C-alpha cells in the first residue's frame, strides 16, 4: 500500500512516526521543513509538488482553509482527511477517490499513542483502521456528527489536559515542590491514569481514591467550587460548534 501524505506540519509530521512502516511519499512545500523531515526520516520520499493520485491512499493533512486552493490530478485509491470540520461532501468536490474517510488524530501520534476518530465509507473501514492504528488507537464512529463531537475529546483535549498538568504542577510549586519534580509527577500521573481508565469507570475510580473527610475530598470540593466540571462540558460544546463553523 502506497501512502501519499499531503502536508507535514505539526499533525502530519507527528503521524510519520507510525506511518514510516508503509511506503510513504510526503508532499511538503516548505523547503526548511522538507530538510528537517529528510533528516528525521531518511527512508521516506519527499516532494514539493503533488503527483497524480492514482494508486495512492492519500492522507490529507493541510489546514482546512487551504482546501479551496488545492489542485490535484488523478483518482486516489482512497482519501483519508484529517481536516477539522471538513465534511465528506466537500472533500468529494475537490478530490477524486474510490473511498472517502474522515479522521481526527491527536498530537500523541508522536509517541504512537494517538486516539484517532474515524468515519466514512465502510468499503475502506478495515484498511483505514489498520493505517491509523499505526499511530495509536483508532475508533470507528457511525457518522460525521459523532466525529465532529469526538473532535473535542480526541483532537483538542490534549491541549486541555496539558493545561490541567501545568496547573497541578503550578499548585505543587506554589507550595514548595521543585518544578522539575512536579512535572515528573504529573507525567507519571497521566500515564498511570490512562491505564486505569481502560479498565474502570471514572466515577468508580474517583470513589476509590476519595475517602470521607480526607485530603482528596477537600481538594475535590474546591474543584467543584471552581466549576471545573462545567468548564470541561462547555469546552466540549465550544469545540463541536467551532468544528461545524470550520466546515462551512
Taking only the tens place, the pLDDT of each residue in 142-161 is 999 999 999 899 989 999 99
For residue 220, the cross-strand partners are none
Average pLDDT estimate for 12-17: 87
Annotated binding site: 6-11, 48, 61-64
Q: Following DSSP, what letter does each residue of 175-235 receive, concatenated?
A: HT--HHHHHHHHHHHHHHHHHHHTTS-HHHHHHHH--TTSHHHHHHHHHHHTTHHHHHHHH
Same fold, 2-142 and 152-246: no
Q: Does domain 152-246 have CATH number 3.40.50.1000?
A: no
483532537: which residue's cell?
155
Task: Output the known binding site for NADPH.
Answer: 48
What 3-state DSSP class applies to 132?
helix
| 225 alpha-carbon distance from chain centroid | 31
Average pLDDT, the chain: 93
* Better pLDDT: 159 or 247: 159
Whole-structure pTM value: 0.85
Q: pLDDT tens across 32-75, in order?
A: 999 999 998 888 899 999 999 999 999 999 988 889 899 999 99
DSSP helix/strand/coil, 239: helix
Percent of the chain with pLDDT over 70: 100
Supply 182's cell numbers.
Answer: 512536579
Binding residues for NADP(+): 6-11, 61-64
**Cβ 62 vs Cβ 42: under 8 Å:** no
How is domain 2-142 classified at the architecture level of CATH? 3-Layer(aba) Sandwich (3.40)
Stretch 125-141: mean pLDDT: 96
Q: Is the pLDDT of residue 174 over 80?
A: yes
Domain residue spans of the chain: 2-142, 152-246
Amino acid at each position: 500500500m502506497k501512502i501519499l501524505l499531503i502536508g507535514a506540519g505539526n499533525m502530519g509530521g507527528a503521524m510519520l512516526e507510525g506511518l514510516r512502516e508503509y511506503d510513504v511519499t510526503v508532499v511538503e512545500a516548505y523547503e526548511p521543513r522538507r530538510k528537517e523531515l529528510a533528516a528525521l526520516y531518511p527512508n521516506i520520499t519527499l516532494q514539493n509538488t503533488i503527483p497524480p493520485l492514482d494508486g495512492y491512499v492519500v492522507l490529507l493533512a493541510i489546514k482546512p482553509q487551504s482546501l479551496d486552493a488545492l489542485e490535484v490530478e488523478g483518482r486516489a485509491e482512497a482519501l483519508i482527511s484529517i481536516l477539522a470540520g471538513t465534511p465528506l461532501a466537500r472533500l468529494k468536490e475537490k478530490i477524486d477517490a474510490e473511498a472517502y474517510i474522515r479522521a481526527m488524530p491527536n498530537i500523541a501520534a508522536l509517541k504512537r499513542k494517538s486516539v484517532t476518530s474515524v468515519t466514512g465509507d465502510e468499503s475502506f473501514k478495515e484498511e483505514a483502521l489498520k493505517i491509523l492504528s499505526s499511530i495509536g488507537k483508532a475508533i470507528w464512529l457511525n457518522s460525521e456528527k459523532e466525529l465532529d463531537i469526538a473532535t473535542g475529546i480526541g483532537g483538542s483535549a490534549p491541549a486541555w489536559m496539558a493545561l490541567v498538568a501545568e496547573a497541578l504542577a503550578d499548585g505543587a510549586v506554589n507550595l514548595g515542590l521543585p518544578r522539575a519534580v512536579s512535572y515528573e509527577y504529573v507525567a507519571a500521573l497521566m500515564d498511570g491514569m490512562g491505564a486505569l481508565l481502560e479498565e474502570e469507570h471514572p466515577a468508580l475510580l474517583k470513589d476509590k481514591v476519595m475517602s470521607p473527610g480526607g485530603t482528596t475530598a477537600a481538594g475535590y470540593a474546591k474543584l467543584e467550587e471552581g466549576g471545573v466540571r462545567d468548564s470541561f462540558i462547555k469546552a466540549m460544546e465550544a469545540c463541536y460548534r467551532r468544528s461545524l463553523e470550520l466546515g462551512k
